[in-house]
Structure 1
Amino acid sequence: MSTTLSPWLLPALIAIPFVGGLVAWYAERLSLTWPRWIGLLSMSATMLLALWIWSQADVPGVIPAHGTPAWLIEFRADWIPRWGISLHLGLDGLGLLMILLTGALGALSVACSWREIQQYVGFFHLNLLWNLAGVMGVFMALDLFLFFVFWEVMLVPMYFLIALWGHSSHGGRSRVYAATKFFIFTQASGLLMLVAILALVWLHKENTGQWSFEYTDLLYTPLAHWQEVLLMLGFFVGFAVKLPIVPLHPWLPDAHSQAPTAGSVDLAGVLLKTGAYGLLRFVLPLFPNASQDFAPVAMALGVVGILYGAKLALVQTDIKRLVAYTSVSHMGFVLLGIYAGSALALQGAVVLMLAHGLATGGLFVLCGELYERLHTRELGKMGGLARRAPHYATALMFFALASLGLPGLGNFVGEFLVLTGSFPVSPWATALAATGLILAAVYSLYVVQRALHGPAATDAPVEDLTSREKLMMALMMGALLLLGLFPQPVIDLARGPLVQIAYWYQQGVPTP
């Protein structure tokens, strides 16, 4: 662990958005603009703090694959000692990359809602920032009870974001329906995961005589094969719903289509990644034998998700639902890479998580900006935007090309590494998954053709991107270019923990 960084930096990463949300809520009494600036500064400060940690941390070049997990920073404080529960936070290269993504997309979520949200502005930013604070905790919690608390903290604010500020189709019922559907799916799967956590802790106590929710203690708990399989399935379903994996995905298109723009960016860019992170951090290391047995099923589900999501994207007429189904397809590649289990495939999955967050986040921002101008999301009512709004058309074209995996952009690197790492494990699954790249090109160019070209549904002028929107798009495009052309710093940062996870997964049982 690095000796130059204070452990209190980890609670600070959670406290900044948490306190920022409270301040933004009260600041609404003074001005509607203050909550926006407070939210933007809070998430920007979080992102800059994460970048500073990266620049100062002593990132190990090689981590002993068979040893105890190594953390760049670690924070620990007693909470409920009688039950072995502590406030234990830790950050390694994998977690740090997820924190950076959360900070960047959190700032983007605030910026893109600048004009869209005009009612209860302070309460909106309270929910948005508290949701992001919960995500920060999920990426750092090393006590499984604390992890579950943060997992639930993400849920309620997102429910309010969709239910209160979402788009209504039928007298307000659609957004409440979508929010309730999201709540039921995630709450039910979360409770199943809680049961699995408590069962794992109880089995650990039976073996050692001590209660403990510590990740590093539970990592080495001896389990009978049937116990490991049942516990693995409990964790897997909890994370599969959030990823989401077909057939546990029905909440996603409704939530995206009804959510405000900031909610869609948050959902696609950040919340979906908590499911993939949970598989990497908990399922594979805690239950390696059961995970290996389950790998053919999981990889098959990944391939189904790739093809099913792409197929449904092709028949959508609502541009937000189309982008939502592309998320199902792209996260299928992530699932395939995770259960391939090789270090190369895991690295590809992480790069793709970052690239997907940036590219899909950019697409949802553009969908929101287009809805503000045209007051419709129907592709049939668009057309001719390349002529009427050239800067908007440029940005949409860029993110569409990123989504289809154009070489030179981040998505291509992630998908290429996933397919390369998965092929030795399952050639047939990899070959089928690769056909998803063809479908991605079809649905991406379909959006470009319907929205940007062809006859316009109306001759009314369309406002092009404002200076604020151009800056947002430029930063996102620059990040995707950097990730596509210079991915090595990201790969190096995550290599240590991913090599360790791959070793445990392939060897069967982690050893201290």
Structure 2
Amino acid sequence: MITLLLLVPIIGSLILIPIQEDSINNKSKMKIIALSTSLINLIISIFMWIQFDSNTTQYQFIYEFNQLSFCHFNLGIDGISLYFVLLTTFVTPIALLSSYTNITKNLKFFLISFLMLETLQICAFVSLDLLLFYIFFESVLPILFIVIILFGHDENRFRSAFLFFLYTLAGSLPMLLCILLIYSFLGSTDFQLISLSDISLEYQKILWLGFFLAFAVKTPLYPFTIWLPKAHSDSPLAGSIILAATILKLATYGYLRVLINFLPDASNFFGPLVQTFAIIAIIFASLSTIIQQDTKRLIAYSSIAHMGVVVLGLFSNNIQGIEGAILLAIAHGFVSPALFICVGGIIYDRTGTRIINYIRGLATYMPIFSIMFFIFTLCNTGIPLSLNFLGEQLSLIGIWERNPIISALGATGIVLSACYSIFLYNRLSYGNLSPHIKIIKDINRREFLILLSLLIPTISLGILPNVLLDSLHITVSSLLYTF
């Protein structure tokens, strides 16, 4: 089953390679092939979800390839990685559809890049070997780097691409050193062998700092936040969607799989330090968001604030906090792409600008869009009946049991998110139509279906969270308790 998930995008890419971009029919055919490939992968992942046994802590759908002496692929899924795989396969067709009409040059490379990104991200989530995890964790960087340079918006895209690449690459080098250190101690980087090993607290602290630096840059936590707003504002819409929905979740998965699972004593020791960084990130990003004039940059800063709440939940050292962090990470993977589609796709395509002062009165001519935009804005603030609400509440309740002061400071992010989200919506949607833009049309069927497909899981999982929680309980419990 896992091999199918990994091979389908590769097969789709191989089908695309011989097709020439010399006619409109061929370009249309290429889009259909790429979209069909991503949808097939989504169906496979849903079938895997149905077959998944949530009553065991063991890895499932295991695949091993050890025919070569220098290469040992060990892949599998548990209750945590399952939902990150589902999120990846769900968001990839959304990303392709969002740029369905915008990309005209180098279309083949664009489509193949996103199919390869899907495979590499799934590999990172299902790897059961620490070295493999590092390889796939870093392998998304060069593809996104080229995508930002080729399909980005303006001249600043070169600086943004290099900033993104160098920040995340440099941050991950200590992780590679720690993996080599583990290999020198244990003679293996297999997850199950590491989890059975007794690592002293002194060594755990050293290893923890190396891994944490890599994940803190990718999250990002303060002071490693500068690369994310620039990468979002200058990347194409599909790139922003993938970056917000799944690339940032690689760090969330890394916290769970490596720090909390393999280095629990050091995670407990450094908990106050992580909570401090998370609180600074929440307050700094929220205050920075309020003053932004670029719509995509504003949503990017809001992502930093929400990921700070995720980190608080992860290091709460209790089940409800960790489960809330996972729910909030998944909810962010739905709502943040929807907001990027609204401001960086629909509005930008019609007005040609992302500067808030030039956009006003959209509710007059775009009533359907304004309703959808309003609903996602409310979801971003964590309104009840949305998955964001449950994720934030569980995360903050979890950290409350550990430190009420930290929880109270983290809750300021909810208040501030309401400030900047409603402020953004009010400025864009109401008032007289801006004289700087012409009368514009409401969203078309494709845009409406994209937003609806993101809205349905956000609300339905907010009303019925046990669909996710039932599969998480045993796996999350196994992180904290030995059975």
Letter in 2 for 1:446: F
Instruction: Name the structure 2 match of 1:50.
Output: 45
- Go from structure 1 to structure 2 and tell me whether the alpha carbon gap of 1:28 and 1:397 turns closer, same or farther (over 3 Å shift): farther
- Go from structure 1 to structure 2 and tell me whether the alpha carbon gap of 1:440 and 1:79 turns closer, same or farther (over 3 Å shift): farther
Q: Contact 1:243–1:331 (CA<8 Å) still a contact in 2?
A: yes
Match for 1:302 among 272, 278, 294? 278
- Go from structure 1 to structure 2 and tell me whether the alpha carbon gap of 1:43 and 1:176 turns closer, same or farther (over 3 Å shift): same
For 1:248-263, list aligned pairs within 5 A.
248-263=224-239
Instruction: Name the structure 2 match of 1:185.
Output: 167
- Go from structure 1 to structure 2 and tell me whether the alpha carbon gap of 1:289 and 1:249 turns closer, same or farther (over 3 Å shift): same
Letter in 2 for 1:135: Q
Instruction: Name the structure 2 match of 1:486.
Output: 464
Match for 2:100 among 114, 117, 120? 114
For 1:325-404, list aligned pairs within 5 A.
325-367=301-343, 368-404=345-381
- Offset at 1:17? 1.8
For 1:167-206, list aligned pairs within 5 A.
167-168=153-154, 172=155, 174-204=156-186
CA distance in 1, matches of 2:163, 2:286: 23
CA distance in 2, matches of 1:153, 1:238: 14
Instruction: Name the structure 2 match of 1:207.
Output: none
Match for 1:24 among 3, 9, 16? 16
- Offset at 1:288? 0.8
Letter in 1 for 2:94: L
- Offset at 1:89? 0.3
- Go from structure 1 to structure 2 and tell me whether the alpha carbon gap of 1:455 and 1:28 turns closer, same or farther (over 3 Å shift): farther
Match for 1:440 among 398, 417, 428? 417
Letter in 1 for 2:428: A
For 1:417-428, list aligned pairs within 5 A.
417-428=394-405
CA distance in 2, matches of 1:90, 1:306: 34
Match for 2:140 among 137, 141, 154? 154
SS, match of residue 433 in structure 2: coil
For 1:259-270, list aligned pairs within 5 A.
259-270=235-246
Q: Contact 2:182–2:188 (CA<8 Å) still a contact in 1?
A: no
CA distance in 2, matches of 1:311, 1:383: 23
Q: Deviations over 1:477-500 (max 9, x none)?
A: 111111111111101112221111
- Offset at 1:153? 1.8
Q: Contact 2:54–2:472 (CA<8 Å) still a contact in 1?
A: no
Letter in 2 for 1:47: L
Greater mean alpha carbon deviation, residues 90-99 or residues 324-333 = 90-99
The answer to whether residue 135 in structure 2 is matched with residue 145 in structure 1 is no
Q: Deviations over 1:366-393 (max 9, x none)?
A: 1222111101000101110011111111
Q: Contact 1:28–1:35 (CA<8 Å) still a contact in 2?
A: no
Q: Deviations over 1:252-272 (max 9, x none)?
A: 000000000000000000000
SS, match of residue 424 in structure 1: helix
Task: Indicate the percent of aligned positions where both proteins have the same amino acid.
Answer: 30
Greater mean alpha carbon deviation, residues 224-233 or residues 134-143 = 224-233
Match for 2:450 among 455, 472, 477? 472
Q: Contact 1:28–1:34 (CA<8 Å) still a contact in 2?
A: no
CA distance in 2, matches of 1:421, 1:466: 42
CA distance in 1, matches of 2:122, 2:8: 10
Q: Contact 1:24–1:34 (CA<8 Å) still a contact in 2?
A: no
Q: Deviations over 1:289-340 (max 9, x none)?
A: 1111000010111111111111110000000000000000000010000000
Point out where structure 1 has 5 or more consecutive residues left out of the alignment: 1-8, 64-68, 205-210, 505-510
CA distance in 2, matches of 1:107, 1:194: 32
CA distance in 1, matches of 2:421, 2:150: 31
Letter in 2 for 1:158: L
The answer to whether residue 115 in structure 2 is matched with residue 129 in structure 1 is yes
- Offset at 1:341? 1.6
Calculate the TM-score normalised by the size of structure 2.
Answer: 0.96
Q: Contact 1:158–1:263 (CA<8 Å) still a contact in 2?
A: yes
Q: Contact 2:278–2:308 (CA<8 Å) still a contact in 1?
A: yes
